């Protein structure tokens, strides 16, 4: 590990490595290391999504697609302009897997399995808000950056391109798509907790009752007595996250009430 990189990793100083600004701030104000160009993350997010669409069955159920698109549109409408302006593609996968994900570049995948656990609009909005939260906070980039530094990879603009196989593999793992590259790299508890709070704020601003996030995790806890679903196998304990979400209601409920008074009343109808 070169000295400048070590300094960036340890102190996250506003430092320039190979022409890249290494230090950034998440929506919650936390400092993070971010070495991969956003364009690289987005290109690989879009590329990975295309690959997943080839491999997973895509739902042709119009009601399910309409419902998930309605939730996504309500959430996307409240994103910062940079993210709102993207062409978000939303796909429902016809699989029992209890999972959902969002990728840089504006891609969202929701599996039928999680729609059975998140059985109300404000619960599925909480799931999708959480996944979008990972994207807004650049968690994938941070994980890749930490991985590159830990491996002592010489960080330069020429290495960090979408065409570089090593970068590609690291980015896929960082995006939580480790299964595709044979590297399991779970989101850290810190990232999960941060995505929970960003997601709760986002759903509230879109006019979804944030209590739905708490109910979601109660349903998850009741459901996961046996094999933990993929969506939460790497997440903090249910009790820890339910408590943190309940605490954050004092911030999110006023946002929700304000949104409702401004006419944010998404009418997304679950499929039968
Ligand atoms: Zn997560």
Give residue 100 CA to ligand 1 midpoint distance, Å: 9
Is 271 part of a structural domain of the chain? no
Active site residues: 131
Domain with 97 in it: 41-137+187-261
**Paired sense of beta strands 89-93 and 107-111, if any:** parallel
For 123, residues 6+ apart whose C-beta sits below 8 A from its C-beta are: 117, 212, 213, 215, 216, 219
Is 268 part of a structural domain of the chain? no
Q: pLDDT tens for residues 82-131? A: 999 999 999 999 999 888 999 999 999 999 999 999 999 999 999 999 99
Give residue 214 CA to ligand 1 midpoint distance, Å: 15
Host H or E run for residue 179: helix 178-181
How far apart CA 124 and CA 107 sit, in angstroms, is: 16
Is 174 part of a structural domain of the chain? no
- Cβ–Cβ contacts within 10 Å for residue 29, how many? 6
Give residue 269 CA to ligand 1 midpoint distance, Å: 25
Give residue 195 CA to ligand 1 midpoint distance, Å: 6
Is 212 part of a structural domain of the chain? yes
> Could you tell me the pTM of the whole model?
0.85
Point out which residues pair with 109 in neighbouring strands. Answer: 91, 101
Total domains, the chain? 1
Q: pLDDT tens for residues 147-166? A: 777 666 555 545 566 666 76
Is 94 part of a structural domain of the chain? yes
How far apart CA 101 and CA 178 sit, in angstroms, is: 13
């Amino acid at each position: 590990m070169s000295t400048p990189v070590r300094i960036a990793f340890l102190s996250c100083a506003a430092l320039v490595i190979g022409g890249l600004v290494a230090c950034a701030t998440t929506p919650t104000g936390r400092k993070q290391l971010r070495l991969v160009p956003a364009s690289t993350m987005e290109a690989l997010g879009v590329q990975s999504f295309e690959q997943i669409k080839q491999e997973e069955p895509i739902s042709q159920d119009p009601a399910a697609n309409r419902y998930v698109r309605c939730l996504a549109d309500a959430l996307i409408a409240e994103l910062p302009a940079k993210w709102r302006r993207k062409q978000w593609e939303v796909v429902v996968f016809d699989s029992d897997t209890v999972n959902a994900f969002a990728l840089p570049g504006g891609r969202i995948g929701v599996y039928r399995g999680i729609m059975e656990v998140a059985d109300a609009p404000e619960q599925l909005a909480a799931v999708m808000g959480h996944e979008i939260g990972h994207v807004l906070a650049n968690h994938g980039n941070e994980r890749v950056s930490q991985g590159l530094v830990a491996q002592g990879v010489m960080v330069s603009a020429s290495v960090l391109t979408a065409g570089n196989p090593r970068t590609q593999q690291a980015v896929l793992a960082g995006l939580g798509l480790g299964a595709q590259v044979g590297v399991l790299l779970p989101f850290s508890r810190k990232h999960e907790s941060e995505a929970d709070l960003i997601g709760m704020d986002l759903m509230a601003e879109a006019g979804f009752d944030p209590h739905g996030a708490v109910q979601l995790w109660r349903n998850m806890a009741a459901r996961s007595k046996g094999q933990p679903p993929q969506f939460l196998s790497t997440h903090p304990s249910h009790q820890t996250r339910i408590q943190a979400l309940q605490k954050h209601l004092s911030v999110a409920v006023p946002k929700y009430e304000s949104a409702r008074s401004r006419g944010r009343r998404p009418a997304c109808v679950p499929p039968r």
